[in-house]
Amino acid sequence: MTGVTVSLLDWRRRMAALYAEVRADRDPESGWLRWRAGRDALLAGHAESPLTAAARAGFPGLPFAPYDPSLRFVVPVDTDVEPVRLGVATTDEGGVVLHRIGRVTLGEVARLDVWWIAGYAGGLFLPLRDGSAGDTTYGGGRYLLDTLKGADLGGDGGRLVVDLNLAYHPSCTYDPRWTCPLAPEGNRVDAVIAAGEQLPPGGSWY
Average pLDDT, the chain: 94
| 50-73 pLDDT per residue, tens | 999 999 998 999 999 999 999 999
Give strand pairing partners of 75.
160
Q: How far apart are CA 167 and CA 144, in angstroms?
A: 5
Question: Per-residue pLDDT averaged across 11-31, rounded?
Answer: 97
Q: How far apart are CA 89 and CA 43, in angstroms?
A: 25
pLDDT at 114: 98
Give the angle subtended at the CA of 142 by the CAs of 33 and 183, to the nearest 5°.
Answer: 155
Tell me, what amino acid is at 119? Answer: G
| 76-107 pLDDT per residue, tens | 999 999 999 998 766 555 678 999 999 999 99
Q: What percent of the chain has pLDDT over 70?
A: 97
pLDDT at 90: 65
Cβ atoms of residues 149 and 180 within 8 Å = no
| 120-154 pLDDT per residue, tens | 889 999 999 999 999 999 999 999 999 999 999 99
User: What burial letters (b/e) apply to 117-126, b meaning 16+ CB within 10 Å?
Assistant: beeeeebbbb
Domain boundaries, the chain: 3-187
